[in-house]
Structure 1
Amino acid sequence: MKLTASPFAQWFVQGDHFSIAVGENCLKLESKKMFETVPFALWDGQCRIRRGIFWGELTLFVSPFDTQARIIRIHGLNWRKLETFAQSLAEHHRLWMDEQKILLKPILPQIDALLAELDDAPYYLRVDDVAQWQSRFHKVLTDYGVSFAVLNAVVPAIHQRALAWLEKPDQARTERNQAWLTETLSIWQPFFDTAESSPLNQSQRHAVLQDESHNLLLAGAGSGKTSVLTARARYLVASGQAQPSEILLLAFGKKAAEELKQRLGQPEMKGIQVATFHSFALETIRKLTGKAPDISHLASEDCSRSAFITLALSEQWQNKTQLNRWNKYFSEWPLPGVDRDGELVKQAHSEKLHQWIWRRLSLLLQQNESMTKVKQNIDSTDKQANAEFGLIAPLVKAYQDVLKKEGTTDFDGLIRQAAKLLQRKHGADVSGIRFIMVDEYQDISPLRMTMLEALCCAKKSRTPSLFAVGDDWQAIYRFTGADVCLTTDFSERFPDGNISYLDTTYRFNNMIGEVANRFVCQNPLQLEKPLNSIKTQKKKAVTVIGEGNEADIMADLSQRHQSASVLIIGRNNSHRPTQLADWQSRFSNLDIDYLTAHASKGREADFVFVVNVDQDVFPPRVRNEAMLDALLPQQDVIEDAEERRLFYVALTRAKEHVWLSCSPDRPSPFVCELIDECYPVLKKLAGLTKRKVQTVLQGEDVELASTNDG
């Protein structure tokens, strides 16, 4: 069936359509420039006719769902034929619609059910959830040979509901999740009020409910991250989203894992998996292979490791060439406590030397590459790093030979083997784990990350969610292989991931926060986040004092407080005050303890003294870590970035007040920065002149500068 303008009429029509015909479920239009096909699905079945002076005109409204609607006019048509033709067009479309309704009838319940899944899902919708839903929706239409345009033509109401999830899924998901969060926060308010010893704040509640495939919760010092971890596990079980056995909480140390277990000790949480990375790797290997590997005594026993290093050094030093290499190295790059005058052989038992060796040996073992490849990764112009590699590489081989002979593995080997097994078997499909939570994520290493990613891999089920809790401001374990970039670059690694914050600290007051938060954020690569103190005051809470004044301040604290905790923090163990035992005895109402800055992580006290905050001490000037710097990720653009984070950790152990104890003649550049940049600190340090401050900040030695001036 076709209606075409006469040749004479076509001459007047010019560029407009002059012919229309009915094809198979479509209209066929013709103009002087083109032929066009309009499927019935894009036409509403309505047409308007208008009589002109000589000819008639037919108007159609075409409304594709993916482009702008438009009007089509066919001119120059015979009026007497046009009326009948228009009626016939409408009848063809009606018959087609009846056929489509019959075709759609069996799948409309499926489409309704699919839409209800999104509307009624009792959980947070992830990006992956919507992507999988889109695939299933299109499959239903494809299986029945129905186009989305047909759905629009036959059941426009359903089409509009689906269109939002197909055209603008991010917007639709955001709006739906926001509505779900509001409703869920209201329904579960009694739970959040009682899940922990104190009601969770709003940022904690939102964190519990957030559930993208990859989630990073930035939790500042004292912000209640453990409460979020345990409350989230309880919520997942109580809401029916998970069985306890489907939840895994990973911690870095046994102590942290035990604390989490104790806080999840309720009967209904029995079966939840709380483990260290190493214990989880061990159990994974046992489960997937039927046999747990044996752990070498070199990995589990300090005394065995020390004996191995002593023996390996003795064997190495029997070779005169090797011994000369060791002596030459320590003559050029001295290690405090290690002889550099040719008597190295007498120090094979040196604990200091053993620590130095083990850090480098561990680093090389973590590289997961042959020693040949590792050497290629070290800049050939880095003389010290290459010298260190030459010393340690033979010890790596000796270590690996022992493990091979024993038929054992070490802790890194556990994680490496578990990761390979999980990668091969699609981790989530064999583990049964659906929710993974990681504590202290800022300490993650690339090797552990490999195991996590393998565990998050699923082929047959919904991808497990990774919920990582950490604080890049407290990333202080780079020397163990930790890579803070896995935290700071989280959004680049997981573009669809979610980053949220705990915005309130319950530990330190706002005046400590004003110093600590501003100080650590001088590194532009640290992630900015709000961290407001629940305790506010106007009185400054960080004081710079001279060395030797600690006892007087403690005496004052002892008189003013019936009981209080005092934590003394030093850069390393050598800074433990010799008067510590005397202070503990004299001020018995004060709970006084000493910890290194690293060991203080996770601890808190009413009052804190950071001692020996001196030049070349905090931060240390010489760290003798060339090979570590050559092989570990280089992520910081500011000098002493990790030491800055370590200083932040020390500052934020205090609830009430921090005293920074230093020598007025050799103050740390950190102390000088606080004073020079007008941080809200009290200065009670005679002899620390503005000139000395500037000398230190310019990187000069204060005593040397004073000598030169003299």
Structure 2
Amino acid sequence: MSLKNIEIVIGHSWFGQLYLSQPSGVKLTSSGIEFTEPEGHCSARYRKPTQSATTTQVSWLQLSSPPVFLPSFLGSLLCFQVGAKSYQIPYLGYFAKSTFLHQVHRLWAQAHEQSLCGLIVRIEHAIENRYLRESIREQIQQRVKREYKRWFPWCESAALSAKLQGALSQLQRFYRWDTAAIAQLRETYIQAQLSAHADFFEHVETNPLTDKQRRACVIDDDNNLLLAGAGTGKTSVMVGRAGYLVASKQAKPADILLLAYGRKAADEMQQRIKDKLGSDNIKASTFHSLGLKIITQVEGAPPSLSAWVDDEAGKTKWVQDTLECLIKNAAYRKQLFEYFSRFYYVERSPFEFASQGEYFEYLTANDIRSLKGERVKSFGELYIANWLFCNGIEYLYEAKYAHDVRSVDYRQYQPDFYLPEYDLYIEYYGIDEAGNTAPFIDKQAYAESMAWKRQQHQQHDTACIELFYYQHKQGQLLSALEHTLTSFGVRLSPLPDDALLNALHELGRVTEFAKILSQLIGLYKAACLDDKRLEAVFNRAANPQQIRCAYTLLKPMLTSYQQRLSANNEIDFEDMIATALDYIQTGRFVSPWRYIMVDEFQDISEPRARLVRALTGATSSVASAKASLFCVGDDWQAIYRFSGADVSLTTQFSDYFGATATSFLDRTFRFNSSISDVATRFVTQNPLQLIKDIQPSVTVTQPAVSLIQRGDNQAATAAEPSANAIEQALNAINARVEQELDSPFKRSACKPTVYLLSRFWFNLPDHNALRQLNLKYPSLSIECQSFHASKGKEADYVVITGLQTGQFGFPSMKITPPLLEAFLPQSESFKYAEERRLFYVALTRAKHRAYIVADMTYASPFVTELLQQEYSIEQHEFGTSLVQQLFEQISCAQCTTGTLTPRAGSFKSFYSCSHFPLCTHKEQGCHCCGSPMTRQRFNGFKVCINDDCGHTTPICNVCGGDMVLRQSARGAFWGCKNYRSNNASSCRNAVDEAKVVLPH
């Protein structure tokens, strides 16, 4: 029934009739409520009307919810609120609620019906014609919650129109949305779009897009992250999504912004879009060219770019030249000398390491050397050596003691330092205040060694200064050294600055420091630090004093750098990002893009991410206050932290950008199942890597990752005619290719491609050697690539080299210079996290097979992991020497982590530790066949690792030396090799042959 012309009067109660002069209380009409209110009376409840009372009319549309009746002793109250003002109309009939409430509800509902139905239509339109973005969902649910509160629960018992009841039913459904319902809404939209644009997805690329690629194109939340494994076709999705947005009329080409990491990638993306979509209107840009465009638009003219934008070498040369000028200043020069003598290296205490071998690996990888260029065995020794050098005191490092004091237990004594001019020795002992040693050193044996050394000096009347680790830890080492040397009459003659500078130049440290400063200028500017944030950088550093000293050297360089840019009215890369960001944040630039797409997102730095985030919230679009962000990346391939890339922006994407729709591309078209299994298992050892289930399009039943275990100096054999491990791999590849050429199922008429890969370029063949390899293997196309350079590329086969330990090994154990580390993204807690991803990148460049070349006596821990954890790799494709096969059995008896490595001496060959010269352990091979001996098969015995020989000897249970079978008048016996006739230091341990049972 229509209530269009209705008029309902609610009368007063008996008290109201007695108390008030008007016969009626409230009039209800189709337009609203009419009642009498005293003029000027602002109270919520009006009193007895006076002659100045006025009639008030309130529209139903002014009421956010229906009026309510409240009982009272003097009659019912009609209560409602208009804006901030509350009304209570008193003295109405006692039965007003039961008589009139349903009519009040119907009149209010009739007035608000159009508004509710319009809301429902708008919501339905939004969820049917667009992907339900999280921001829209929040808006809808907030609006629905408010509307629901206005209508429920009273509407459930009201007599309302069918149209209104239908709208309320929809409102209730929206109110009850849960995660499953929202997911179903989105899925319905996705399926409708996939069906409507099936033909587009079928033909946009050479091959039809996969189901997951298509879904990634359609899903359109506020923030979208597509995690795409290696070779899964992420570029196809970038092209497909851009084309789909235009084809579905959700966007015009000018609404879309594509961002790529580098100029080459942006150009390739632009060409791909042109080829596949036939359009030049969708533009791909680098971050820096985007920044330049924003600056140009705001300032009205393009800024001048520094020549160093495209000339990093030129920038580094300017930095070095400027550094040479700064060095002419005495104060700066003094600070530089202090930095190189005390803070150049990242110090780590030996007490931090579990084994001596790990400590040696750290020293070797970081090439810890004194200012004279000597490799030292501790940081205490480093600072002593540098102090002696800077103060003009001649010294010899680890020179042999003047007296022959060799014994069974001790080699010839070599004190840490000898000052020949004063016939004075210096010993630095690695003990703390309580006499404790590093965990890998036997405390008692070390104490006995100290006592023995003191005894030698006392016995031979030589002077020795003793210094200790705890003095170094307390910052008293050098003052103690100076005080003691002075007491011995040692004269200090500090080297002139020119001499110190020459030493630094000879070691290449000035040039290396200039490179660090050049890189640091960009990192520092990109960080946009104020004084407070800079102080925070210093305080969170492992060694704040070290960072402050280095920053003192950087600051005048920064000043000179900025002055040069300002003088030439130029900007650099960092200015392009920082200035553009400032223009967006201050509203001087309003983004015209409604869809922002970022490629290779795992390589993004925080400043670039900040720019992207600013763009998504600065759109000029009326239809959407926030632009849609779509990022494609693979946290498994994040390998650019050294340039500022922050992998946590990918692994913790939603923390930075907000609620995110995450999709996965898990079908790879590049490598087979074997390569996938090895690479995936390896990279996901890091639990912080996002889990992806990569499904290769090619399944194989045999391992497709082969290990070549071969030393650099290993001779060729009849079975393996090449002494070069790379050529071994190429021979195997060539044989496979020739076999395929003879097959009716050959892959392609093109030459198979082979990448020779390494962590560092110098481990790869040079230009001439590469040319010779291509001539030697004409059926192959061979290229050299570093791991970093190979990213984004693919080859039929890869050969991975340089997998050894050491300064330039892999994983790289070289510590990032502290000043750079301070301005880089926070390092990951998982050991070698980025290096592990780098190995994943190398493995996944291969389509068909990957070859890993490793000398097991210096093997990378990554290669050791592949073997020890039994990855599915092929170990028997190539012949392998016993040393290479059984490297784990011939570990160094002294440092435990090194491997016995064959070496040629002046008179005969022997085996020494792979950590030589830091570890000086050496021993003879089997006297029967010359192979190395292992102590690991049987307790108390050494066994030749050559099973064809199997020679076994006991180990002396007194001194740990080898036992030798000897003859005497009483028969054969095992005697210690350290027997020295009547020498007091001789080991006289001997055991009858009959009492020794050799194990088998």
TM-score, normalised with respect to structure 2: 0.59
Superposed, 1:381-420 pairs within 5 Å as: 381-420=543-582
The 1:106/1:681 distance shift into structure 2, 3 A limit, reads closer
1:476 counterpart = 2:628: no
**1:166 deviation in Å?**
3.5
1:54 paired residue number: none
Superposed, 1:96-495 pairs within 5 Å as: 96-121=104-129, 123-134=130-141, 147=151, 153=158, 154=160, 155-168=164-177, 170-265=179-274, 269-327=279-337, 329-330=339-340, 333=344, 340-341=371-372, 342=500, 343=502, 344-345=504-505, 354-370=514-530, 373-374=533-534, 376-379=536-539, 381-425=543-587, 430-458=590-618, 461=622, 462=624, 463-495=626-658
Superposed, 1:567-586 pairs within 5 Å as: 567-578=755-766, 579-586=769-776
In 1, the alpha carbon distance for the partners of 2:155 and 2:295 equals: 51
1:560 counterpart = 2:736: yes
Question: 1:431 is paired with a residue of what secondary structure?
Answer: coil
Larger radius of gyration, structure 1 or 2?
2
In 2, the alpha carbon distance for the partners of 1:328 and 1:275 equals: 45
Contact 2:145 2:175 in 1 (8 A): no
**1:148 deviation in Å?**
5.7
Question: 1:107 is paired with a residue of what secondary structure?
Answer: helix
Deviation per residue, 1:150-186 (Å, 9 max, x gap): 6664333211212333343654432211111122222
**1:319 deviation in Å?**
2.5
Residues matched between the structures, number: 638
Question: 2:841 is paired with a residue of what secondary structure?
Answer: helix
The 1:162/1:105 distance shift into structure 2, 3 A limit, reads closer
In 2, the alpha carbon distance for the partners of 1:315 and 1:348 equals: 17
In 2, the alpha carbon distance for the partners of 1:467 and 1:442 equals: 13
**1:199 deviation in Å?**
1.0
Superposed, 1:634-673 pairs within 5 Å as: 634-673=826-865
Structure 1 vs Structure 2 CA RMSD: 3.5
The 1:625/1:699 distance shift into structure 2, 3 A limit, reads farther
In 2, the alpha carbon distance for the partners of 1:203 and 1:441 equals: 19
The 1:371/1:588 distance shift into structure 2, 3 A limit, reads farther
- One-letter amino acid matched to 1:454: A
The 1:389/1:661 distance shift into structure 2, 3 A limit, reads farther
Deviation per residue, 1:347-378 (Å, 9 max, x gap): 99987554333222322222212478525412
1:605 paired residue number: 795
Deviation per residue, 1:8-28 (Å, 9 max, x gap): xxxxxxxxxxxxxxx995454
Contact 1:100 1:150 in 2 (8 A): no
**1:400 deviation in Å?**
1.3
In 2, the alpha carbon distance for the partners of 1:618 and 1:383 equals: 30
- One-letter amino acid matched to 2:572: D
Deviation per residue, 1:625-660 (Å, 9 max, x gap): 222323323252211111111111111111111111
Aligned counterpart for 1:95 among listed residues 94, 103, 111: 103
Contact 2:674 2:699 in 1 (8 A): yes
- One-letter amino acid matched to 2:760: N
The 1:167/1:125 distance shift into structure 2, 3 A limit, reads same
Superposed, 1:585-604 pairs within 5 Å as: 585-604=775-794
Question: 2:790 is paired with a residue of what secondary structure?
Answer: coil
Question: 1:378 is paired with a residue of what secondary structure?
Answer: helix
In 1, the alpha carbon distance for the partners of 2:839 and 2:232 equals: 18
- One-letter amino acid matched to 1:573: W
Superposed, 1:520-539 pairs within 5 Å as: 520-539=683-702
The 1:98/1:353 distance shift into structure 2, 3 A limit, reads closer
- One-letter amino acid matched to 1:456: T
Contact 1:543 1:682 in 2 (8 A): yes
Question: 1:437 is paired with a residue of what secondary structure?
Answer: strand
**1:692 deviation in Å?**
6.0
Contact 1:213 1:466 in 2 (8 A): yes
- One-letter amino acid matched to 1:99: L
Contact 1:542 1:681 in 2 (8 A): yes
- One-letter amino acid matched to 1:500: S
User: Is there any run of 5+ residues in structure 2 with no aligned partner, and where?
Assistant: 1-10, 14-44, 46-65, 81-93, 346-365, 373-499, 712-723, 742-750, 900-913, 924-1000
Contact 2:790 2:842 in 1 (8 A): yes
Identity %: 31
Deviation per residue, 1:132-165 (Å, 9 max, x gap): 34566689999xxx65656664333211212333
The 1:654/1:160 distance shift into structure 2, 3 A limit, reads same
Contact 1:426 1:455 in 2 (8 A): no
In 2, the alpha carbon distance for the partners of 1:693 and 1:107 equals: 85
1:7 paired residue number: none
In 1, the alpha carbon distance for the partners of 2:320 and 2:571 equals: 20
The 1:191/1:215 distance shift into structure 2, 3 A limit, reads same
Deviation per residue, 1:216-261 (Å, 9 max, x gap): 1111111110000000000000000000000000001111101111
- One-letter amino acid matched to 1:415: I
Question: 1:594 is paired with a residue of what secondary structure?
Answer: strand
Q: Which has the higher helix share?
A: 1
Deviation per residue, 1:449-476 (Å, 9 max, x gap): 1111110114763110110111111111
User: Is there any run of 5+ residues in structure 1 with no aligned partner, and where?
Assistant: 4-22, 41-84
The 1:495/1:309 distance shift into structure 2, 3 A limit, reads closer
The 1:694/1:360 distance shift into structure 2, 3 A limit, reads farther
Contact 1:676 1:693 in 2 (8 A): no
Aligned counterpart for 2:659 among listed residues 496, 504, 507: 496
TM-score, normalised with respect to structure 1: 0.82
In 2, the alpha carbon distance for the partners of 1:325 and 1:605 equals: 50
Question: 1:358 is paired with a residue of what secondary structure?
Answer: helix
In 2, the alpha carbon distance for the partners of 1:518 and 1:124 equals: 36
2:355 paired residue number: none
Question: 2:798 is paired with a residue of what secondary structure?
Answer: strand
In 2, the alpha carbon distance for the partners of 1:485 and 1:189 equals: 36
In 2, the alpha carbon distance for the partners of 1:170 and 1:542 equals: 44
- One-letter amino acid matched to 1:114: R
